[in-house]
Chains A and B, each alone.
Chain A
Amino acid sequence: MKKKIIFRLLLAAFIFQVSFFHVEAKEFDYKSAEFKAVASQFACTCGCGQDHFECDSNTCSLTKDFKKDLVDMMNKGWDKDKIRKYYVNIYGEEILTSPEKSGFSLTAWILPFAVLAVAAAGIYFVIRKWVKRKRTDEPAAEHQNSEDEVEDEILSSIIDEERKKYL
C-alpha cells in the first residue's frame, strides 16, 4: 500500500509538475511569531496582494527566496528594523506593507486623525452654538430622563393600539 501511494505521488508530481512542492531540508517555522514580525513588513510583488509572511511559498517562487533571505538575516542576528532598513535601501519604500512614519508618507498616518480632530472641534462649536440658541429661546427647558421617555413611548403605542381597535 505504501509503495502504491509513493508511486501515485511520484506520478502526480510528474503530471502536475509539483516539484516545487518539495519541502525545505532545513526546518524553520515560517509561521512563528518572530518570523511574522519580520516578514509581514514586506509586500510580496508577485501580484498576490499579500505580505511575505502570508504569501504561500509553494505557489510563489518569489517569496520562497525572499523568506530564505530573511531567515539568513535573522540567523545573523539582524533585528526587524535592520532588515527593514536593508530592503528599503535596495527597493525603496514600495516594498513595505505600510508607509514609513517619516517624510511625506507621514501624512498617510496623520491626516485621518487630523481631519477627525478638526471635524470634532467643528462639531463642538456647532453644538455649542445650538445649545446657546436654545437657551436664549427657552431658558428653562424641562429635562426628561430616558426612563420617562421609554414609558411615554410605550404608553403612546398602547393608546395608539386601543385607538386602532375602535377606528
Chain B
Amino acid sequence: MYLFANATIYIGFAVAIYSLLIMTLGISSKNQKLVNSGKGGMIALFICASFAMLSMFYLLATSQFQYQYVSDYTSSELPIIYKLTALWAGNAGSLLLWTFFLTLYALMIAFSRKMKGNPMVPYISAILLANAVFFFFILGFIAKPFVLLDHTPIEGKGLNPMLQNPGMIIHPVTLYLGYVGLAVPFAFAMSALILKNVDDFWIKMTRRWTIIAWLFLSLGNIFGGQWAYEELGWGGYWAWDPVENASFMPWLTATAFLHSVMIQERKNMLKVWNISLIIVSYALTLFGTFLVRSGVLTSVHAFANSNLGLYFLIFMAIAVIGGLYVLMSRYGLLKRSVGEFSSFVSKESSFLINNLLLVGAAFAVFWGTIFPLVSEAVRGTKVTVGMPFFNKVEAPILLSMMFVMAVCPLLAWQRSTVKNLKKNFMIPAILALLGMALMVVLGIQKAWAVIGYGVIILLLITHFLEFYRGIKARRKMTKEQPLVALYRLMIRNRRRYGGYIVHLGIACITMGIIGSQNFDMETMKTVPLGGSIELKDYRLNYDRLDQKKEGINDIVYADMTVFKNGKKLGSYQPEKVFYGNWDQPSSEVAIISSWKEDLYIVLSAWEDDGKATFVVKINPMMNWLWFGSFLIVIGALFAVWNGKYGNVTPRYTGVRKEVS
C-alpha cells in the first residue's frame, strides 16, 4: 500500500511534467498527435490523483496508524464519516484534495463537448497542467501525505473535535472547489491572450466557470460561518480572521468581474480591467493559501506552520508576473476598442462604481490583513488588526455597494435622463424613506441600522419593480397568466433573473448581519439549581445538571426550560463535551431559532453544588442570513443552468490554429 500510494504521487508528478512538456511542444510544433498525448496524460493525471485520494481514504477508514497523517488526524473510535473527512483536516491531505479537484477541472475542460475542436484547449490545458506540476511537486516533496512512522502507534491522536461537525465535512470541500475553480478563468484568459483572441467567446465561457467558482466560494464561506456559529460557542459567524479574509478577497474580486464582464459583452470595453480582475482573483486564492500555511499571521485556522507558504508565494509571484507579462504584451490589441459612454448616469456607470466599491472593499480587507506585517516592517511594532477595524472600514463600503445594487436595476443601459430617474425612483425612494422614518418612530436609534435597512427596502422595491415590469411587458405581448409570464420571463433570461435572485439573497444576508450586529443582547449568569435567568422576553429555568457518556467522551449537560412572554417554548440541553482524546472541551450550544431571533444558550461552567454559569445570547435575524445564503445558491444555479433557452454555447470566432 505504501508503495502504491506514494507511486500515485510521484507518477502523477512525472505525468504532469510529461503532459505539460508534450502539450507545449505540440502547441509550438502544431502537432495534434503530441497535443493528444498531452490530453491522454491529463486522464492519467486524474487517475493518479483519484488513486491517491482513494488510497488516503482507505488508510484513514482502516485506521492504519503507521501512517503519520492517519495517526495525526484520526483515532480508532472516530465515526467512519469523520475518519474519511479527516482527509482535509491537515496540510498534506487538503492539498491532495486541491490537486484532485484541479485535475478534475482540467479534465472536464480538455474533454468538454463545448470546447471540442477549439484551439484554446491545448493552451488552457497547459496552464492548468503547470498548476498540477506545482501541486504534485508539493505533494511529492514538501507536504507528503503518505509518510510512514518509525513505529506503529496503538492509537491515533484523534481529530480535533471542533472539526467533527457536518459543517466541517462540506466547508473545506466547497472552499477548495471555489479556489481551484478560479484557476479555470485564469487559464481561459491567459490562453485567449496568448492566442490573441479578443472576441466574446472566451469571456462567455469564462463567466460560467467564474459563477461556478463564485458559488462554491460563497458556499465555502457560508458553511464556515454556520459551523463557527453552531460549534464555537461564541455566537458569531465571521471573525475577520486572516484566513477568512483570504477567502473573502477573491470572492469580492470575482463578484466585481462577474459584473464588469457585462460591460465588456455589451460595449466591448474594459478588457484589460477584466483580465486584471481574473489574474487578481486567481492570485488571491494562492495568497490565501500562503497565509494559511506559512504562519506569518496569527490565525485560528492554524495549519502546522511550515515553509509551505513560501512555495505558494513563489508560485503566486510566477503566476502574477507571467499573467501581467502576457497582458502587457497584448495590451495594444486589447486597447484597440476605445471606450465610449453615452451619459454619466447609466447602467454602465453604475457597474463601474460597483467595481470600484467591490475592489475597494477587497483592498481594504487586504490592507487590514497585511497591516500587522507592514507595521512591523516599518516601525518594528506588530499591531493587531481585528474585528473592530474591519467592521468599521468595511461597513460603509459594503453599504454603499448595497445602495448601488438597489439603484442599478432601474438604470437604463446607455443613458438615464432626469425624467427617467424621477419616474423610476420616486416611489421606491419615498417608500424607503417612509420605512426609515417608521423605524425611527418605532424606536430604532442606531443610525447604521436605519440607513442599512432603508437601503434594503429600496433594493427590495427596485427588484420587485424589475420583475413586475418584466411580467407586465411580457403579458402585453403574450396575454399570459402572471405566474406563467414570470416563469417564462425568468427561464428565458436566466442570467439576469438568476442575478436578481442572488441580489435578494445578499439583501437577506445583509438584513441578518445588520440585525445580529446591532441588536444582539447577551448575559452571563450563575444560577443555583431551580434558579432562572431572564433576558428580554425570555425566562430560562435551570432544572437539572447531569452527565452522560457517549463513546469515549463525557458530556455534562443542563436541562433548561425556556419561556417566552410566559409561554413555554420547550426544554433544551446545552452541553459541555470532554473528549477522551483531546484536551480542550467544547460547548454544544442550544439554539432556539425563529425568523425574528435566535436564543443561544451556552453552558459555561458549574460548581459541585449544582450551581451553573450560562451565557445566554439573543441574536436577531440569524435565519435571514441562512435563508439569504440559500437564495444565493438558488440564484447562482439558476443563472448557470443549461436551459432550453438562452445559454446557447457561444460560437468560437477566434484565431484558428492547427491543433485543438
Contact = CB atoms under 8 A, between A and B. Distances in A.
Contacts of B363: 112, 115-116
A62 interface: no
Contact of A96 (B300, B383, B397, B410): B383
A108 B371 contact: yes
Nearest to B616: A31
In this complex, which of A12, A29, A93, A145 has the most chain B Cβ atoms within 10 angstroms of its Cβ? A145
Contacts of B470: 150, 154
Contacts of A56: 233-234, 604
B599 to A, nearest CB: 14
A44 to B, nearest CB: 10
Interface in A115-160: 115-116, 119-120, 123, 126-131, 133-134, 137, 141, 143-147, 149-151, 153-155, 157-158
A21 B615 CA distance: 14
A112 B393 contact: yes
Given A59-B584, A108-B385, A50 B234 contact: yes
A77 interface: no
B335 interface: no
Interface stretch (B36-44, B246-254, B342-350, B444-452): B342-350
Interface string B466-506: 00011001101110000000000100110000000000000
Contact of B412 (A94, A128, A145): A145
A106 to B, nearest CB: 11
A157 B554 contact: no
Given A22-B607, A93-B383, A127 B613 contact: no
A75 interface: no
Nearest to A10: B608
Contact of B386 (A15, A43, A119): A43
Kindly name the residue among A98, A115, A134 whose own CB sees the greatest number of chain B CB atoms within 10 A: A98
B356 A120 contact: yes
Contacts of A18: 578, 585
A23 B386 contact: no
B329 interface: no
Given A29-B524, A49-B300, A127-B352, A58 B605 contact: yes
A69 to B, nearest CB: 17
Nearest to B420: A145
Contacts of B476: 151
B268 interface: no
A127 B349 contact: yes
B610 A5 contact: yes
Contact of B343 (A5, A40, A97, A131): A131
Nearest to A117: B360
Contacts of A133: 338-340
A23 B526 contact: yes
Contacts of B368: 108, 112
B474 A154 contact: yes
Which of A29, A146, A161: most chain B CB closer than 10 A? A146
A49 B606 contact: no
B611 A8 contact: no
B384 A98 contact: yes
Contacts of A147: 469, 473
B340 A97 contact: no
Contacts of B604: 56, 58
Given A29-B525, A150-B469, A112 B364 contact: yes
A66 interface: no
A105 to B, nearest CB: 6
B424 A146 contact: yes
Contacts of A115: 360, 363
B522 interface: yes
Interface string A91-110: 01111111100001100110
B545 interface: yes
Interface string A50-81: 11001010110000000000000000000000
Contact of A130 (B341, B356, B492): B341
B531 to A, nearest CB: 12
B411 A141 contact: no
A167 interface: no
B241 interface: yes
A105 B383 contact: yes
Contacts of A16: 554, 578, 585
B379 interface: yes
A8 B547 CA distance: 7
Contacts of B386: 43, 51, 97-98
A67 B478 CA distance: 69
Contacts of A109: 389, 392-393
Nearest to B522: A31
Contact of B344 (A9, A31, A127, A137): A127
B609 interface: yes
Interface in B386-438: 386-389, 392-393, 397, 410-417, 420, 424
Contact of A43 (B384, B414, B610): B384
A115 B353 CA distance: 14
Contacts of B606: 9, 21, 23
A31 B615 contact: yes
B238 to A, nearest CB: 13
Given A108-B367, A120-B356, A150-B469, A5 B389 contact: no
A157 B492 CA distance: 7
Interface string A7-41: 01110110110100111100101111000000011
A90 interface: no
Nearest to A103: B379
Nearest to B411: A146
Nearest to B357: A116
A32 B298 contact: no
A148 to B, nearest CB: 8
B556 interface: yes
B518 interface: no
Contacts of B612: 23
A146 B383 contact: no
Nearest to A8: B547
Contact of B523 (A5, A29, A120): A29
B382 interface: yes
Interface of B: 233-234, 236, 239, 241, 298-300, 338-344, 347, 349, 352-353, 356-357, 359-360, 363-364, 367-368, 371, 375, 378-379, 381-389, 392-393, 397, 410-417, 420, 424, 469-470, 473-474, 476-478, 489, 492-493, 522-526, 545-547, 554, 556, 578, 584-585, 604-613, 615, 617, 645-646
Top 10 nearest A-B pairs (CB, nearest first) are A112-B364, A97-B386, A98-B389, A146-B412, A130-B341, A31-B524, A49-B300, A134-B340, A98-B388, A116-B360
Given A51-B386, A104-B375, 18 more contacts: A5-B610, A9-B608, A12-B556, A12-B578, A13-B608, A16-B554, A23-B607, A49-B298, A99-B385, A104-B378, A108-B371, A108-B375, A115-B363, A137-B340, A144-B412, A146-B410, A154-B477, A157-B493
9 contacts: A9-B606, A54-B236, A93-B383, A96-B383, A99-B384, A108-B375, A116-B363, A131-B342, A144-B413
